[in-house]
Amino acid sequence: MIVGVQPLAGFDKLLHYTVPETLRAAVRVGSLVRVPIMNRSHLALVLEKDTIPDVPPAKLKALSGILHEFPALTPDLLELARWMHSYYAARMESVLEAMIPAAVRDGSRLKSEKYLEVVRLLAPDEHAALARKAPKQAKLYDFLRQQFQPQKKSLVLARLGSTAAVVNALVQHGLIREEERHVERVAYADNWTGGEIVTGLPPKLNDEQAAVVFSVAESLEKRKFAVHLLHGVTGSGKTEVYLRAVEQVLAAGGSAIYLVPEVALTPQTVARLRGRFESAGHKTVVWHSHLGEGERLDGWTALASGQARVVVGARSAVFAPVKDLRLIVVDEEHEPAYKQDETPRYHGRDVAVYRAKLAHAVCLLGSATPSLESFANVKGGKYRLNTLTKRVDDKKMPDIQIVDMRIEVMRSRGMVTLSRLLVDHMHQRFARKEQIILFINRRGYSSSMQCRKCGHVEECPHCSVAMTYHRADETLKCHLCGHQRGAPVACPACAAPDIRWRGLGTQRVEEAVRRVLPRARLERMDTDTMSKKHRFRQILGDFRAGKIDILIGTQMIGKGLDFPNVTLVGLVDADLSMHVPDFRANERTFQLLVQVAGRAGRGDRAGEVVVQTFTPKADAIQFAKRADFDGFAEAELAVRKKFAYPPYRHLVHHLFRGPNPEKIRFFADHWVKQVEKTLGDAVEIRGPVPSPIEKVKDEYRFQVWYFCAGATKVVPELVKLQTTVNWPDDVTQVLDVDPMNLF
């Protein structure tokens, strides 16, 4: 038998090996194996079996080993890898590394422990003899006899101060037995729920939910590829719909993947799935990068072996090697966090849709604020739309109140962090022992320029994105087309001198809150405080348990979390996401408002939302206030169409960076001419222009944008063209297909 393998360590090439007799039964397409390359052992993935090698078979070397009993990649995953390699212009090797967890690639063995137990009871005289002749053996024997079950050897020895020699002696006398047991390390085995009560009993579906569940069930029964977009307002019970779909898949013997956008959301979801399915004997595996190696390996093994058929995790869980995949749920499908910002730069949602297609499975996308990409796919007839228009139990949607910060600033003659309206509400809620969440907009881009008197922001006349302020040469630049002008010293709209307004940090908000409510217990949740593992679980748990009154944080706490006692949500700086140089800025702002508002009033008491902004009339804010997704989508799609932005075209970002700006510029200019010549009308090119962040770590950055009807044809052409250019060593390039982050 001859196999074609892809080595994982720096060889982007298929190599051929023979398979020794002993490994023939185990080696399959998708298996992780060890192969000799120039006398060193390397890890590789079997891509082909029984292939014709490019050298005479007699010259081939043999595989030296196999890592796991199960293939690391299923056939649909292998196909997916090939697609990602070409679509995202990523090296095959890096795609495979993203797909297979390091713990699995490391080939570290499953963890096993030795256990001890008594196998023969001693008569009293025998026992006395042992105690006399070998007191240490007697002590160990006595200890084990008092136990009801086998004991971990390592713990017993440590506890009694005994040694392996003592164990061996007892084993030789036939008094105790030593046994090796595989121990499974289960993530979140403590079933942490942060105090959320998770009952196994499913609630009775309301009519809207029942209709959606029925529609998804029909697709699942057909065993054909289908995508459903579930647009359900916040608190409408989308999770219950997902659970019913998973239930159906499990009952039919299939597997399901459940994606959430942030690691922070996995504990809540895992608790819900375990609460529902564990009693029926179905394990739920947790899959994300914050797990220990052991947990990852064991979870992976459980899925690859078919022992577990449900997996929950962030982006990379889309690569779980489950058997008989029938459903992929993508919760909060609009979240930019699904896009990976290092190579391979894939979008978890799009990969989920593609994998579902390869596996003839159903992909269920859900959101209160669907992405315009998915919405356009509904309009184009590719996805089926299901809607939930009401909160469960007819709970009221929260009231959104908009505070015009221009007036606040005028009144107080200076910087304002918390408006009077917000402060009033905070006092009331605190007095009633209800909880408060304050959001700070992380997407704020400090170099945008906004007048804090009138709220005006300068936009590029050609691109309809905010211009970027460059301090070094006092200019405003459009980072899409390069249009540039001198930075105004006064606001072009109202002539106020105060145009360089910057955002508020979490700390600043924390200080302001402490001044307003010194006795409130508050906790800050941002990337600084979240560096410690499991810290987010602890804070969210304390918040749910009522040990924290006010939670201050960035969007990371705005997603999907369900805290019934929160009745007030404040968005401190709505503007920051709106005036970034990104054509999705309005969409982001609308989503942010609706999502954070959705955190309020999920329990029995009605919720209120206070949004502070310098541009209260902006479309995104007004549509969000009315909770009018359709209205927003229609208006925004019209703008996208006019400028031919996604979803009407695809976008590819090409970054060039290096220490020498003239050199980069020269090569980038040359490159663009080549692309024009080769691809002609297939792409519209903008750039090269300096990136909005022109210099990072002493490297200058330039970028080129390609707008095209489809990435499938254009990207491979660009990659091919790249190989024909003689690039200098100190110019690094990165291609990002369907980028989510435009600066």
Q: Which residues bind ligand ADP (CB under 6 A)?
A: 203-206, 209, 232, 234-240, 392-393, 562
Based on CB atoms, which residue is closest to ligand ADP, 208 or 458?
Answer: 208
235 binds, among Zn ion, ligand ADP, none (CB under 5 to 8 A by kind): ligand ADP
562 binds, among Zn ion, ligand ADP, none (CB under 5 to 8 A by kind): ligand ADP
Q: Which does 203 bind (CB under 5 to 8 A by kind): Zn ion, ligand ADP, none?
A: ligand ADP
Q: Which does 232 bind (CB under 5 to 8 A by kind): ligand ADP, Zn ion, none?
A: ligand ADP
CA angle, 588 then 392 then 623, to 5°: 30
**For ligand ADP, which is the closer residue by CB, 237 or 558?**
237
Local structure of residue 110 (DSSP, 8 states): P
To ligand ADP, the closest distance from the beta carbon of 209 in angstroms equals: 6
Beta strands in 112-269 (DSSP E): 112-118, 151-152, 176-182, 226-232, 255-259
Nearer to ligand ADP by Cβ, of 273 and 675: the residue is: 273
CB of 265 to ligand ADP, least distance (A): 11
Query: Which parts of 362-459 are beta strand (E)?
Result: 362-367, 384-388, 399-404, 435-439
Q: Is residue 642 close enough to count as binding Zn ion by CB under 5 A? A: no
Site size toward Zn ion (CB under 5 A) is: 7
Q: Which is nearer to Zn ion, 464 or 529 (CB)?
A: 464
**Among Zn ion, ligand ADP, none, residue 42 binds (CB under 5-8 Å by kind):** none
Write the interaction track for Zn ion spanning residues 476-515; mark x where CB under 5 A is met and - where it is not: --x-xx-x--------------------------------
**591 vs 578, 585, 588, 600, 702, CA distance in Å?**
11, 10, 5, 15, 30
Q: How far is the CB of 598 from ligand ADP (least distance, A)?
A: 6
Instruction: Render 41-84 in DSSP notation, one character per residue.
Output: EEEEEEEEESPPPSS-GGGPPBP-EE--SS-SS-HHHHHHHHHH
Q: Which CB atom, from 59 or from 204, has the smaller least distance to ligand ADP?
A: 204
Q: Which does 529 bind (CB under 5 to 8 A by kind): Zn ion, ligand ADP, none?
A: none
d(CA 609, CA 621): 13
Which one of Zn ion, ligand ADP, none is in contact with 239 (Cβ closer than 5 to 8 A by kind)?
ligand ADP
Q: Tell me if residue 405 falls in helix, strand or coil.
A: helix
Cα distance between residue 16 and residue 44, in whole Å = 11
- 463 scored as a contact of Zn ion (CB under 5 A): yes
Name which of 557 and 668 has its Cβ closer to ligand ADP. 557
What is the smallest separation between the CB atom of 740 and ligand ADP, expressed in angstroms?
Answer: 22
DSSP character for 655? E
Report which DSSP code applies to 148. S
Q: Which does 480 bind (CB under 5 to 8 A by kind): Zn ion, ligand ADP, none?
A: Zn ion
Residues numbered 169-228 forming contacts with Zn ion, rule: CB under 5 A: none
Binding-site partner at residue 481 among Zn ion, ligand ADP, none, CB < 5 to 8 Å by type: Zn ion
- Per partner kind, with CB cut-offs from 5 to 8 A, the member of ligand ADP, Zn ion, none near residue 636 is none
Q: Which does 162 bind (CB under 5 to 8 A by kind): ligand ADP, Zn ion, none?
A: none
Identity of the residue, 238 or 309, whose beta carbon is nearer to ligand ADP in the bound complex: 238
CB of 471 to ligand ADP, least distance (A): 42
Rounded to 5 degrees, φ, ψ at 650 are -90, 155
What minimum distance in Å lies between the beta carbon of 559 and ligand ADP? 10
Of ligand ADP, Zn ion, none, which one sits near residue 558, judging by CB under 5 to 8 A according to partner kind?
none
Tokens 């359709």 identify what position? 630
Rounded to a whole number of angstroms, the minimum distance from the CB of residue 492 to Zn ion is 17
Q: In this structure, what are the phi and psi dihedrals at residue 49, rounded to the nearest 5 degrees?
A: -120, 150
Residue 467 makes contact with Zn ion by CB under 5 A: no
| Residue 552, helix vs strand vs coil | strand
d(CA 14, CA 521): 59
In angstroms, the Cα distances linking 491 to 413, 501, 614 are 17, 11, 14
Q: Is 580 in the site for Zn ion (CB under 5 A)?
A: no
Residues 544, 516 contacting (CB under 8 angstroms): no
Q: Between the CA of residue 612 and those of 318, 403, 408, 517, 677, what are the distances in Å? A: 37, 5, 10, 19, 50
Nearer Cβ to Zn ion (152/483): 483
CA distances from 511 to 103, 457, 518 (A): 43, 28, 10
- Residue 12, binding choice from Zn ion, ligand ADP, none, Cβ under 5 to 8 Å by partner class: none
The one among 166, 460, 621, 683 contacting Zn ion by CB under 5 A:
460
* Nearest distance in Å: CB 467, Zn ion: 8
Least gap, CB of 643 to Zn ion (angstroms) = 10
The minimum distance between CB 233 and ligand ADP, in angstroms, equals 7
Tell me the C-alpha distance between 414 and 393, whole Å.
44
Smallest distance, Zn ion to C-beta of residue 465, A: 7
Of Zn ion, ligand ADP, none, which one sits near residue 460, judging by CB under 5 to 8 A according to partner kind?
A: Zn ion
CB of 196 to Zn ion, least distance (A): 47
Crossing angle between the packed helical segments 506-516 and 420-431, to the nearest 10 degrees: 60
* Stretch of 453-461, 519-527, 701-709, 735-743 contacting Zn ion, by CB under 5 A: 453-461
Supply the minimum distance, in Å, between the C-beta of residue 601 and ligand ADP. 11
Placement of tokens 């604020």 in the chain: 369
Q: Does residue 382 interact with Zn ion by CB under 5 A?
A: no
Nearest approach, Cβ of residue 391 and ligand ADP (Å): 8
Name which of 481 and 520 has its Cβ closer to Zn ion.
481
Residue 704 as a binder of Zn ion (CB under 5 A): the answer is no
Output the six-digit token pair for 261: 């956008």
Neighbours of 525 (CB within 10 A): 23
Contact 567, 398 (CB under 8 A): no
CB-based contacts of 189, cutoff 8 Å, min separation 6: none
**Spatial distance between the Cα atoms of 99 and 397, rounded to a whole number of angstroms:** 40
Sign of the CA dihedral 534, 536, 539, 541? negative
Whole-number minimum distance, CB 205 to ligand ADP, in Å? 5
Residue 270 binding result from ligand ADP, Zn ion, none, given CB thresholds of 5 to 8 Å by partner type: none
CA distance to 91, 668, 678, 730, per residue, from 720 (Å) = 13, 16, 11, 20
The single-letter DSSP state of residue 285 is E
Instruction: Return the number of the residue (111 or 485) whose C-beta is nearest Zn ion.
Output: 485
Residues that bind Zn ion (CB under 5 A): 460, 462-463, 478, 480-481, 483
